[in-house]
């Protein structure tokens, strides 16, 4: 095992680029009212979980997830862990999850003793639904999908599998705030959905997440699990002798974070439109350049949230070097999870589509500070070849 790690080919990575060096890969989107909103909270009675958290949940629900209910938490990982608990996953149960994602999607299963069954990717680095179907066994209890880069997965097929086999469908929508599938916002349909408000997401709360729950009978349990297993509403009414019957966690969001999220919600439509314009411009300018294909640009039945612009490229190492020489940062961002020892390591040939694209995907700059002129410059640099 140690020898395998030594011989494993390293990722094609460069040090993080300084903003003074050129066009960086990521930059936080801090809305105009962020500072004043936070100041208001700091001057109030509540800086932990309080009325701003309630307001953020309510406004997020009305905009994106209705009729499903929202619970704001400390991170997207918190939200996923709570979703897995609410799905009543037990040690030894199997969950089918994507091999390609942020490790946060799959690490909570290790807390719980749940067996992860990885599924291959499709051409857009989303979960391959046909492979998912082949992996279902009597031990399977849930399917987790990740809307990579902001492109919704093939949800009709996943929902059909869930219904046929009585499985929970859990959406990791960390990249997909504002994405739509057949006219409906991601987060408004599945059993559970997670959104991330980590530092560089569309909406940031510094760090944070939102758990979305379809079954209204699970909402009060979710609230208890979010706060040590305590019925917080009863406690605040003066009922201090209430029992704790579930092992809970400290997963709540603070009013400081929620006030930042509220500012982001206020500007969200403008921010999303900017990113989607840049995404479309990338697609237009790169479509005829040899050796590069924008991933996820072919669909008309779903709306891309444009968190990442990922391309399949020839000679990735040469291209990354070429871009860096011209002041453009690029990277892989996420990696196949079976490369990590905690998930059991890699079995050669198990995921042929992931194997085929592993050395060929590359993320290009796409964020609030990127301009249309920046995209034209990046396209110009790419047109020169590498």
Amino acid 51: pLDDT: 97
Question: 0.85 exceeded by the pTM?
Answer: yes
pLDDT digits (tens, 9 = 90+) for 120-168: 999 999 999 999 999 999 999 999 999 999 999 999 999 999 999 999 9
Amino acid 245: pLDDT: 87
Amino acid 238: pLDDT: 60
Confidence of residue 242 (pLDDT cuts 50, 70, 90): confident
pLDDT digits (tens, 9 = 90+) for 248-276: 999 999 999 999 999 999 999 999 999 99
Amino acid 235: pLDDT: 60
Amino acid 147: pLDDT: 98
Mean pLDDT on 307-328: 98
Maximum separation of any 2 CA atoms in the chain, in Å: 71
Say what percent of the chain tops pLDDT 90.
90
Amino acid 3: pLDDT: 36
- Of 171-180, 233-242, 340-349, the range with the lowest mean pLDDT is 233-242
Confidence of residue 297 (pLDDT cuts 50, 70, 90): confident
Is residue 2 scored above 80 in pLDDT?
no
Q: What is the mean pLDDT of the chain?
A: 94
Mean pLDDT on 293-311: 94
Mean pLDDT on 380-386: 96
- Of 108-122, 177-191, 222-236, the range with the lowest mean pLDDT is 222-236
Amino acid 347: pLDDT: 87
pLDDT digits (tens, 9 = 90+) for 57-114: 999 999 999 999 999 999 999 999 999 999 999 999 999 999 999 999 999 999 999 9
Is residue 13 scored above 80 in pLDDT?
no
Confidence of residue 4 (pLDDT cuts 50, 70, 90): very low
Amino acid 234: pLDDT: 61
Confidence of residue 239 (pLDDT cuts 50, 70, 90): low
- Of 172-181, 226-235, 304-313, 358-367, the range with the lowest mean pLDDT is 226-235
């Amino acid at each position: 095992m140690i020898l395998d790690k030594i011989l494993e080919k390293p990722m094609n990575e460069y040090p993080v680029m300084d903003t003074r060096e050129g066009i960086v890969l990521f930059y936080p989107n801090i809305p105009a009212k962020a500072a004043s909103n936070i100041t208001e909270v700091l001057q109030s009675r509540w800086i932990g979980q309080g009325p701003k958290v309630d307001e953020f949940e309510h406004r997020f629900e009305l905009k994106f997830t209705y009729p499903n209910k929202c619970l704001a938490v400390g991170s997207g990982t918190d939200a996923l862990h709570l979703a897995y608990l609410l799905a009543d996953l037990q040690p030894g149960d199997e969950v089918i999850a994507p091999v390609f994602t942020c490790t946060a999607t799959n690490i909570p299963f290790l807390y719980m003793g749940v067996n992860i069954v990885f599924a291959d990717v499709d051409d857009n680095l989303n979960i391959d639904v046909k492979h998912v179907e082949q992996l279902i066994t009597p031990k399977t209890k849930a399917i987790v999908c990740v809307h990579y880069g902001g492109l919704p997965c093939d949800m009709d097929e996943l929902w059909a599998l869930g219904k046929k086999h009585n499985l929970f469908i859990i959406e990791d929508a960390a990249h997909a705030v504002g994405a739509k599938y057949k006219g409906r916002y991601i987060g408004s349909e599945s059993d559970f959905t997670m959104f991330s408000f980590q530092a560089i997401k569309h909406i940031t709360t510094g760090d944070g997440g939102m758990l979305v729950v379809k079954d209204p009978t699970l909402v009060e349990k979710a609230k208890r699990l979010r706060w040590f297993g305590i019925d917080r509403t009863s406690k605040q009414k003066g009922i201090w002798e209430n029992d704790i019957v579930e092992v809970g966690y400290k997963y709540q969001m603070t009013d400081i974070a929620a006030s930042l999220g509220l500012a982001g919600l206020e500007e969200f439509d403008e921010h999303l439109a900017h990113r989607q314009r840049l995404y479309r411009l990338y697609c237009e300018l790169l479509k005829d350049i040899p050796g590069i294909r924008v991933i996820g640009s072919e669909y008309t039945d779903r709306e891309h949230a444009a968190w990442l612009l990922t391309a399949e490229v020839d000679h990735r190492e040469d291209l990354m070097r070429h871009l860096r020489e011209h002041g453009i940062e690029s990277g892989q961002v996420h990696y196949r999870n079976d490369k990590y020892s905690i998930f059991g390591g890699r079995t050669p040939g198990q995921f042929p589509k992931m194997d085929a694209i592993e050395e060929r995907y590359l993320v290009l700059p796409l964020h609030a500070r990127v301009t249309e002129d920046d995209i034209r410059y990046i396209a110009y640099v790419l047109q020169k070849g590498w």
